[in-house]
Amino acid sequence: MKVTDRIGQSSSTLLSFEVLPPLKGRSVQSIYEVLDPLMAFKPAFVNVTYHRSEYMYKKRSEGIFEKVYTRKRPGTVGICAAIQFKYKVDAVAHLICGGFTREDTEDALVDLWFLGIENVLLLRGDAARNERHFVAEPGGHPFALDLVKQVVNMNRGQYLEEEHQGGKTDFNIGVAGYPEKHFESPNLKADLKVLKDKVDAGAHYIVTQMFFDNQKFFAFEKSCREAGITVPIIPGLKPITVASQVNMIPRVFHVDIPEALSDAVEKAKNPAEVEKIGAAWCIEQSRELKAAGVPCLHYYTMGKAEVMQNILGEVF
């Protein structure tokens, strides 16, 4: 079922998870080990992230470096299909612009459609590790907006080549929103304009970047509504599980950690206490958002099934 249909049919706050495909060479079992215990909470859908391919330099004999193409976490489409087959829960496949030509994207969408995966979250992706800025693949999309337009075209039966017009897909489209603005955006207003463009182009709902201060989410939601964005906005939450995340999260995701949370983590006596503090913070955030009537709570699980179980047991 489509994400927005599930939301439309539910009178209470739904629940969803994000999982990462396993590292190349590891078993799909690692995904099941996270999801098996979480299925008791009846998630409305499970998102599977997409990881771009990259070039690495590997040292060969005689000090020679070789440029090697690698994708560390392949398997997004396959894992979505496996999740739908095993758990009978809808999967949301993330698709990114980075590393994809338009043709690659079209082929991935055809695979998803044939597999009965009708939900996609469309993203630009970040710069490759060896690039300073995001660079689109030659023949690929520079922005998520362009990816939205391609999927909307396929939903109308318009494929890239004229001889392939016809078969309409019916993808439900999610896009990313940033309560604390995307780090490349000059300001919140400009970022909101980009978000509105994605919705006006055909996105059906928004999932937010993680945040640790609910007031930032409420302010963002208000700004979206004032800007005329009417689609569901799903808040994304992540519990702090290790002390180093207090510095890593702002660096990587460009979001603030409130003083009360970073102070508490700093004073924690051991890793178990950090995990407890992070979970308690996430529970408080979840309860407040649920009370405010958000359509769904989306959790970035990061493979932490036990922590998630403790949190969800308190919230749902």
Using CB under 6 A as the criterion, which residues of the chain lie in contact with ligand FAD when the complex forms? 49-50, 52, 94, 96, 121, 123-126, 143-145, 176, 182, 184-185, 191, 194, 207, 209, 236
Least distance between ligand FAD and beta carbon 234 (Å): 8
10 Å Cβ neighbour count for 222?
A: 10
Amino acid in position 83: I
Least distance between ligand FAD and beta carbon 190 (Å): 6
Phi, psi (degrees; rounded to nearest 5) at 3: -55, -45
Amino acid in position 119: N
Rounded-to-integer distance, Cα 90 and Cα 80, Å: 8
CB closer to ligand FAD out of 125 and 239 = 125
**Reduced to 3 states, what is the DSSP secondary structure of residue 209?**
strand
CB closer to ligand FAD out of 93 and 261 = 93
Tell me how many helices (H) and strands (E) the chain has: 11, 10
Least distance between ligand FAD and beta carbon 18 (Å): 7
* Residue at token pair 């599980």: 241
DSSP label of 190: H
Which residue, 193, 186, 204, is CA-closest to 226? Answer: 193
Least distance between ligand FAD and beta carbon 176 (Å): 3
Task: Specify whether the CB–CB gap between 220 and 189 falls below 8 A.
Answer: no
Rounded-to-integer distance, Cα 236 and Cα 115, Å: 27
How far from the centroid of its chain's Cα atoms is residue 268's Cα? 30
Return all residues near 14 (Cβ < 8 A) that are at least 6 apart: 6, 7, 43, 44, 295, 296, 297
CB closer to ligand FAD out of 71 and 276 = 71
- Joined tokens for residue 79: 């894992």
Least distance between ligand FAD and beta carbon 232 (Å): 13
Which residue, 117, 98, 124, is CA-closest to 198? Answer: 124
Least distance between ligand FAD and beta carbon 301 (Å): 13
CB closer to ligand FAD out of 109 and 121 = 121
CB closer to ligand FAD out of 49 and 119 = 49
Least distance between ligand FAD and beta carbon 94 (Å): 3
CB closer to ligand FAD out of 182 and 276 = 182
Least distance between ligand FAD and beta carbon 174 (Å): 8
Least distance between ligand FAD and beta carbon 45 (Å): 13
Phi, psi (degrees; rounded to nearest 5) at 79: -70, -35
Helix crossing, 214-226 with 271-291: angle to 10°? 30
- Burial of 230: CB neighbours in 10 Å, binned 0-12, 13-18, 19+: exposed
**Reduced to 3 states, what is the DSSP secondary structure of residue 255?**
coil
CB closer to ligand FAD out of 14 and 207 = 207
CB closer to ligand FAD out of 96 and 311 = 96
CB closer to ligand FAD out of 118 and 275 = 118
